[in-house]
Amino acid sequence: MGALMAEDDIYIGPLFDLFNLRFGPEQRDVEFDAGGVSEIKALQEEFSIFQEGRPFVESAKLLGLGGLGNNRAKNRWYNVLTWLAKVPSDQDGETGDQRIVNALIKNFGRKSPLPCFMKAHDSRDSAGYGLKVVVREDTPIFYIDRTYLTISVPMAPKVPPAGKDKKKSKKK
């Protein structure tokens, strides 16, 4: 996410994958009692991981959604998730952070919650979602015909500091 993730931008995809696997459809193999969305539902019922007023980043930390392999990338990712409290959402009166937490609380309150999918969209695209968190029920994976609770967070590449291009042109 540009300035927040810096050279660790390469880890954004795997960090989304952690969420998408943990909150995805459960496996139906005999040897597994729980997994995916049904496991998260059980954890939510037992421990109230997602609570109104608790930042999403704190729940993400509890679930290990920052990964284990790179502490710098993990901490930067948590900074991105913290930043979502400053970003608007598609729901009037809710920040991006509140929108995610409230949508997850509502989803896991259902008898059969939807699997969840997190992705990014280009925050610079004013014709698209722009700079806001968007939560929808849709089919975000074209090769899986299943409805998900999709969470789309705004991201953009790192923007060069002001005046940097001017220095290059003067050197020419």
Look at residues 157, 104, 110 and name the one whose alpha carbon lies nearest to residue 133. Answer: 104
**Predicted confidence pLDDT, tens digits, the chain (172 residues):** 566 888 888 889 999 999 999 999 987 765 656 689 999 999 999 999 999 999 999 999 999 999 888 899 999 999 999 999 999 999 999 999 999 999 999 999 999 999 999 999 999 998 899 999 999 999 999 999 999 999 999 999 875 555 554 444 444 4
pLDDT of 29:
64
Q: How far apart are CA 118 and CA 140, in angstroms?
A: 9
Q: Where are the beta strands (DSSP E) in 92-133?
A: 116-122
The pTM score is 0.87
Look at residues 154, 6, 159 and name the one whose alpha carbon lies nearest to residue 86. Answer: 154
Q: How far apart are CA 24 and CA 21, in angstroms?
A: 5
